[in-house]
Structures are given as C-alpha cells and as structure tokens.
Amino acid sequence: MENHFKFFTSIQVRFAETDAQGHVFFGNYFTYYDVALTEYLKAIGCGYQEMLADGVDFYYVEATCQYKDRAFFDEVLHIHARIGKIGDTSFHFEFSVVEENSGRLIATGRIVAVAVDHNSRKPITVPQKLRKAVQAFEGTASS
Amino acid sequence: MENHFKFFTSIQVRFAETDAQGHVFFGNYFTYYDVALTEYLKAIGCGYQEMLADGVDFYYVEATCQYKDRAFFDEVLHIHARIGKIGDTSFHFEFSVVEENSGRLIATGRIVAVAVDHNSRKPITVPQKLRKAVQAFEGTASS
Amino acid sequence: MENHFKFFTSIQVRFAETDAQGHVFFGNYFTYYDVALTEYLKAIGCGYQEMLADGVDFYYVEATCQYKDRAFFDEVLHIHARIGKIGDTSFHFEFSVVEENSGRLIATGRIVAVAVDHNSRKPITVPQKLRKAVQAFEGTASS
Amino acid sequence: MENHFKFFTSIQVRFAETDAQGHVFFGNYFTYYDVALTEYLKAIGCGYQEMLADGVDFYYVEATCQYKDRAFFDEVLHIHARIGKIGDTSFHFEFSVVEENSGRLIATGRIVAVAVDHNSRKPITVPQKLRKAVQAFEGTASS
C-alpha cells in the first residue's frame, strides 16, 4: 500500500517519544503525521505558512491511526503522506509509517482537515491552488 | 450523547498542551483518552496494574478522535469514558470530552484495544474479570 | 526542605509521561513545574490570565531540575511551589517534588522568570501586585 | 561560544512543540538536548545502545536551560553538543542552540549525567571507552 505514496519524510524515534511499554507512545504518531503533512504541503508547493499568508487556515475534524507493529527508540520511520481526497471544504491526508531498515509496516492513518478563513474561522471552499498542486503532484490516477 | 456515560475524569488543560494556534494540540486528546481509560478501569475494579499482575496487557490497534470545538489553556475538561463493546479478543473504549463551565462538546473518540498475553504478546480472549466488571458497572442497557 | 513550602499541587503520572527506562522522562518535570506555578499564582491571587489582562506577561530565562529519585506511572506527585526571590525585573519560582505515598523526594527545581510588557515584550519592574501577594502568602520569613 | 562546539544536530521545530505564546514551549528544549546527546554519542563512537550492551546506563542528575531568544514553528535549530567535563562517576553534556538562517542564539544548556551499572543501578566510574572517545573527538584543548 505504502508504495502508492510519492512522498515521505523521515523521523528518528526520540527517547522522549517512547513509553514504559518500551515503544513509541500511541499518541505520538499524530505528531509524526502532523510533521509529515507539513512537509508534504511544502513538497507540493503549498506550504502551511503560505496558506496562512493567503488567509487560509486548516482545522482538523478527525484523526485516526491504525497500529500494525511497534516502533522503538532510534529507529528511523518513513512517514508516507498524501492528500487522497478533496471535497468541497474538506480534504483527507493519508499516512503510512514504515520502518526504514526492516520495512515493517508500523501504522496507517488519516487526518480529515477543513479549510477555514483565517479571520472568521468559518469553513471555505478548498483553495484552487491546493487542488491544482495535489493534482500536479499525485497525478490523475490518484483522483 | 455524553449523558450516557457513567464515568468521567477531569483534566485541566496545561500550557504545554496548547500550540501556536492557541488551543489544545490535536494529538494531545489521545493522551487525555489514555488517562481517562486508566481511571475508568480503576473505577470498575479492573486497574491496568492489576491486569498486568494477572499476566494480561493491552495493545491499542486503532485510535480515533473527532474534533468538535477548540479547548483552551486552563479550561477543565470532563473526559467521559466507557467500554462500549467487547468482542472475543478486542474491546472498545469510547470517549466524549465536554468543557466543564460552558458544556461545550470538544471531542469524541474511540480506542480499540486487544488483550494480549504479557509474555508472549499474543492476543488472548478478553478476561472474564473485565467482561463482568464492565457489565456490572455499565448495566445491561449498554450491551 | 519541602516542608517550608506552603503550597503544592498534585499530579498523577500519565503513561505518556514515562519513557522506555520505565520512569518519568526527565524533560516532563518542567511541564509539572509549569502546572504548579500556574496553580501557585492562582492560589496567591495573581493568576496568569489576570496578569495578561493587566498587560503583564512572563518570560522564562532559566529552568533547572535536580533529579533525586525516579517516579513511575500512576504515582501521585506533590509539586511544591513558591516564589522564593523577587528582584527588580525577575523572580524565582522554586519547586520540590515528593511522591505522595512513600514521601520520596523525586526532584527539586527552579524557574527564573522576567516580567515583560505584553505588547512590547520588554522587561518591566515586577508588578507591586505580585510582590504584595507573595509577601502576604509566604510571610516575612520568606523574604 | 557555540563555535567551540565540533558537533551539532539539526532539529526542525514541530507545531506540536509550540505553545499558545506562539513559540517553542520551554520544556521542549530538554527533548532537543536529549536528541543531540544521543547523536553526539554516536558521532564520537560511543552510542547509547552500545553502552547499554556493555552494561552501562546513564542517569541524569541535573538539567539546566538558559533561554536567550524565542524559536518558532518550522525554524531549523542547530543543537550543538559536547561532553565538556568528565569527573569520576559523572560527566557534563553542554549545549548551545542556534537558529540556522538568522544565526540567533536561542538557548544554552547543560545536562549532568552519572554512569550507573545497568543492573544494580549503582554509580560506577565513567567507562574508559567514553573518556577516550571524548578526548579523541574534542582534542586536548577541551580537557
């Protein structure tokens, strides 16, 4: 599945991110997803800071993670990311986490975001700039 | 919906849990859920540490959060929790987060856990002790 | 030493706050200190939010923690706090962490804060309101 | 000062690491320091995991941070690190945090660690292997 992703960012597991079960605390994957989507947006030419400058902000309305295997201190994780679906005011980030050396699938996930006006905080149509950037990067096969 | 929950624990939002958008970072709700389920298990008489002593551990296989409203520094959140469904080897924790003063619904969520043998880490049948404790606490109406 | 403190707040160790060494991650004590000073300021009648409303903010210029013993998941920690010294523009929060059941001294610490104008972010004289509140709460023996 | 450091690791500020004041939460610098010392130990040929395999663990007995300037989301920080002093059973990690583009000095810090036997948890003499590795990397001028 993760081989359909065209983008990933690498994150090395920090000691602070492990817990007393000896592996990454389950809640920390959402931080990893947040890092990956930030880098993904830059990679496709629609960085979050630019969006903000255009008056567009995002709110997350749902976040989900499926845990497939454990990840450990100092392991390097590839956080694959893409925007897999764009609706009227919302869009879906999709994730897949793979450990670099072993190729173990660690987790999959999704964040549903809504575009909002930075001032009024009201939902707005997903900007054309983002739609086009996703299409250009992911290609027609992804839509 | 949250009025069907018989248990909640209170969490006061820490400054460390906010982010530069001015509200609670979305990933931190999973930490809140983890605290609430720990307290819930104690409340029904099946604490995590006792489970461990019995050779039973839990792994989370899925975690989800729906974000309904923002929560801010120093607000007190009621993290409602219950076990809403018990299968053969898995069970569902369900959550609802309500701000104490305003009654605002902040988030809902779910964590799916699997019972595993503490040593072999293999899935096992959900212990009878936990099934009975949930039934006694939640009553027949919840099943 | 901690018996000279007139204030403490209780924090129950969360699983998320432990690390793979099995105890509380060393960096998390600073979050505990931050919670304790927030509650201390409220207790003496000078809450952070009121300060902000008066146009006063704080910046931390130094934070230190001495680790005396390990703390574990689900233990309840008393985070003792006080303002122990007030200079012209700066003041010192002092901390002592004691485990509730065993009385083990877990850590001591200090945060040096500087009062700043909320808008200009420039250092200002520590407000009289705060000086008086500390004196009233801690008594003359503390100065 | 930071130009006396021969090692640094880069950390890009995550959104999760910011707080409602709009900059990096003060406690998170200790996580950055922990990452930097992990990488430093690898760089000098004495990785933490190897140490553990040799039966040596470290406990932190003190951690300090001086805050010089604010750091913001997405900025890249150079976390300079070195072992600056080695005593009988303890040694000092020293840190300096510089923002990559602007060269702003963000923070300085220190972590005092004690070498302990992994099983007994009792302090032991700092291993010769570590002493020699530091000397070889930092040169005689640092001692």
Q: Is the pLDDT of residue D140 over 80?
A: no
pLDDT tens, position by position, A12-39: 999 999 999 999 999 999 999 999 999 9
**Confidence category of residue A4, pLDDT binned at 50, 70, 90:** confident
**Residues in chain A whose Cβ is within 8 Å of chain D:** 12, 14-16, 31, 34-35, 38, 48-49, 74
Distance CA B53, CA B65 (A): 30
Nearest chain C residue to A71, by CA: C20
Q: What is the pLDDT of residue C142?
A: 44
**Confidence category of residue D3, pLDDT binned at 50, 70, 90:** low
What does chain C come to in residues? Answer: 143
Contact D66 C62 (CB under 8 A): yes
Nearest chain D residue to A17, by CA: D31
Which positions in chain C touch A27 (Cβ < 8 Å)? 16
Task: Report which of A37, A38, A111 is spatially closest to residue A81, judged by C-alpha positions.
Answer: A37
pLDDT tens, position by position, D63-96: 999 999 999 999 999 999 999 999 999 999 999 9
Contact A18 C16 (CB under 8 A): no
Residues above pLDDT 90, as percent of chain B: 92
Q: What is the pLDDT of residue D139?
A: 87
What's the alpha-carbon Rg for chain A, to the nearest Å? Answer: 16
Q: What is the pLDDT of residue B4?
A: 85
Q: Is the pLDDT of residue B23 over 80?
A: yes
CA atoms within 13 A on the CB side of C77: 30
Secondary-structure percent of chain B, ordered helix, strand, coil, rounded to 5: 30, 40, 35
**Residues in chain A whose Cβ is within 8 Å of chain B:** 21, 26-28, 30-31, 34, 57, 59-67
Q: Indicate which residues of A carry an active-site annotation.
A: 19
Q: Is the pLDDT of residue D143 over 50?
A: no
Q: Which residue has the tokens 């305003």?
A: B102
pLDDT tens, position by position, A89-133: 999 999 999 999 999 999 999 999 999 999 999 999 999 999 999
Distance CA A50, CA C14 (A): 37
What does chain A come to in residues? Answer: 143
Q: Considering the entire predicted model, what is its pTM?
A: 0.95
In one-letter notation, the amino acid at residue C45 is G
- Determine the Cα angle at B108 with ends B64 and A35, to 5°: 45
Question: Closest partner residue to A27 among B27, B61, B66, by Cβ?
Answer: B27
Quickly count: other Cβ atoms within 10 Å of residue D2's Cβ: 14
H helices of chain C, where? 28-43, 48-53, 128-138
Alpha carbon distances (Å) from C10 to B59, C1, C47, C73, C98: 29, 18, 18, 14, 10
CA atoms within 13 A on the CB side of A84: 15
Block means of pLDDT (10 residues each) for chain C, length 143 residues?
81 97 97 98 93 93 98 98 96 98 98 95 95 92 45
Task: Report which of A1, A11, A4 is spatially closest to residue A79, judged by C-alpha positions.
Answer: A11
What's the alpha-carbon Rg for chain B, to the nearest Å? Answer: 16
Q: Which residue has the tokens 């640092």?
A: D142
What does chain B come to in residues? Answer: 143
Contact B20 D16 (CB under 8 A): no
Chains A and C form CB pairs within 8 A to the count of 28
Contact D47, D133 (CB under 8 A): no
Residue A53: phi and psi, rounded to 5, are: -60, -30
Distance CA C106, CA C110 (A): 14
Going by DSSP bridges, is the β-strand pair C76-86/C56-67 parallel, antiparallel, or unpaired? unpaired
- Beta carbons within 8 Å of B90's beta carbon, 6+ residues apart: B61, B112, B113, B114, B115, B126
Contact C81, C9 (CB under 8 A): yes
Contact B85, B67 (CB under 8 A): no
**Which conformational region is residue C37 in: left (phi greater than 0), alpha (psi within -120 to 50 degrees), or beta?**
alpha
Distance CA B110, CA B67 (A): 12
Q: Indicate which residues of D carry an active-site annotation.
A: 19
Q: Which residue has the tokens 């104690």?
A: B42
In one-letter notation, the amino acid at residue C114 is V
A56-67 sheet: strands from edge to edge: A8-12, A76-86, A90-99, A105-117, A56-67, B56-67, B105-117, B90-99, B76-86, B8-12
pLDDT tens, position by position, A64-78: 999 999 999 999 999
Question: Closest partner residue to D15 among B16, B19, B22, by Cβ?
Answer: B19
